[in-house]
Chains A and B, each alone.
Chain A
């Protein structure tokens, strides 16, 4: 009996201060608004917003509101259990992409989805889950 194994578990509680830019973004979500920042150095529109551009090493002061609609760039589907679909979404006007859940869509249809828009929760708390999921914008819908 030489393979004696000790089993333990580590649990590390933590908090995280959202900071200047993300605080404004999260408060915006509670109001169904999506705030981005634009770096005057490189022109990139960041969402989620950055208050400081590491590429240009400069503060970002310019804010702009983006629509809650954009392009579905990529996706994946959980293969077991009820399908969970993750999408990579580029909001209209953004240079960065958001990872979020997709809904109101069957996995088999995903290849034909071009545009998606946010479906908001009624009880919003200032979290990225204030967007329940992104759903396809069907042709003929009012958008």
Chain B
């Protein structure tokens, strides 16, 4: 029997395009220090530290080694994770396993990326199949745009509807002091008129590249209850891996097989039958406007082909029936190795009632996802009630 585990504290840096005042170690230390302060703990109270980073985006390998004094791993049990877009949720799920196993009581998950210092699109190309994909594509956008075109065709979603998701993200970000792209006056027109990167994807449909770090502290039941007034209990975790070769899944956005598999497994473990009704808030790894709408469908928030309608109806706005990404999401903030862990941190903040101006009133059940890889999914469900 796994032990009960809860998130008791979080810490984030103010995510931004470029942090020239700190190096990578110093950036990570900011987030770790804030998480420790949030729980009123010191590094001595942490039994193990897990690090997430999307190497070699900054042109180096082994950040766990040479940035150790920054992330607190010195002489502690520790592991580094590198699983693409899912890095942060993989790290979070591992931290859950560490504590649930009974081996460690208090474990910190840390994620970072200093994207301004690397060349992300070059590094992303290394994910592709060496014979086919690397020869004809470069980076993530072309790959994604092909999927977006198929999705529009399959679901009838329009560029305007996708743009609405992009607007929601940047407006919600204004309520989040840590978010990178805060655009209070952004309109659907602005998104539609922004530079076309690869049809149908325009600059404002896409996530930015950010410098940032995040730390989340997990604890077993008795310590969680002692250390946090309202811990965020881990209700369910699930991961699923898709086959990597892109041509194998022509409808990758229309039908996100790993997202469907992982979310259904997590819903079942958490006893959720109607996610739109039973979830109070979702922090999803949406990377781009089109992906957010596709994820509504694949997560079962609505029927197939209804993703556009959901955004038209305002269901996923902060004041809607199921707010999605009140933090501003990935479209506002994307330090890749931290991004999915930020989803977990933001979902936990909602459950703990500490989300400030982006708080969803009465949030009792929250979903966090990571997505990447090309198409891997991690899911974590958090609740105010003990599992």
Number of A-B contacts (CB under 8 A): 71
Give the residue name and chain of the B residue nearest to A17 (CB). B23
0/1 string, A54-70, CB within 8 A of B gives 1: 11010000000000000
Interface-centre pick from A6, A18, A53, A54 (highest chain B CB count, 10 A):
A54
Is A111 part of the contact surface with B, judged by Cβ < 8 Å?
no
Cβ B23 vs Cβ A13 within 8 A: no
B interface majority secondary structure = loop
Q: Which residues of B contact A53 (CB under 8 A)?
A: 69
Residue from the list B42, B116, B131 in contact with A57, Cβ < 8 A: B42
Q: Which partner residue on chain A sits nearest B211 by CB separation? A: A17
Tell me if B68 and A14 are in contact (CB < 8 A): no
> What 1/0 flags go to A1-27 for Cβ under 8 Å of B?
000001010111111111110100000
- Residue B74 is within 8 A (CB to CB) of chain A in the complex: yes
Q: Using C-beta atoms within 8 Å of the partner chain, give the interface range for chain B.
A: 20 to 34
B69 and A18 form a contact (CB under 8 A): no
- If A14-B60, A54-B69 touch, whether A19 touches B74 (CB-CB below 8 Å) is no
Q: Please tell me if the beta carbons of B114 and A13 are within 8 angstroms of each other in the complex.
A: no
- Which residue in B43, B75, B118, B134 is a CB contact (below 8 Å) of A12? B118
CB neighbours (8 Å) of B20 from chain A are: 17
Asked if A51 CB lies within 8 Å of chain B CBs, one says yes
Bound-state Cα–Cα, A41 to B48, Å: 22
- Indicate which residue in A8, A16, A20 contacts B117 across the interface (CB closer than 8 Å): A16
Name which residue of chain B comes closest to A58, CB basis. B43
* Complex interface: chain B residues within 8 A of A11 (CB): 122
Contact of B58 with A14 in the complex, beta carbons under 8 Å: yes
- The answer on a CB contact under 8 Å between A13 and B74 is no
The 7 closest A-B pairs by CB, nearest first: A54-B69, A14-B59, A19-B23, A57-B43, A54-B74, A15-B117, A13-B119
Interface residues, chain B, with chain A CB atoms under 8 Å away? 19-26, 29, 42-44, 56, 58-60, 68-70, 72-75, 114, 116-119, 122-123, 126, 130-131, 134
Some 20 contacts from A to B, beta carbons below 8 A apart, are A10-B122, A12-B56, A12-B118, A12-B123, A13-B118, A14-B60, A15-B117, A16-B58, A17-B117, A19-B22, A19-B24, A20-B22, A50-B69, A52-B25, A54-B69, A54-B73, A55-B75, A57-B42, A57-B43, A57-B74
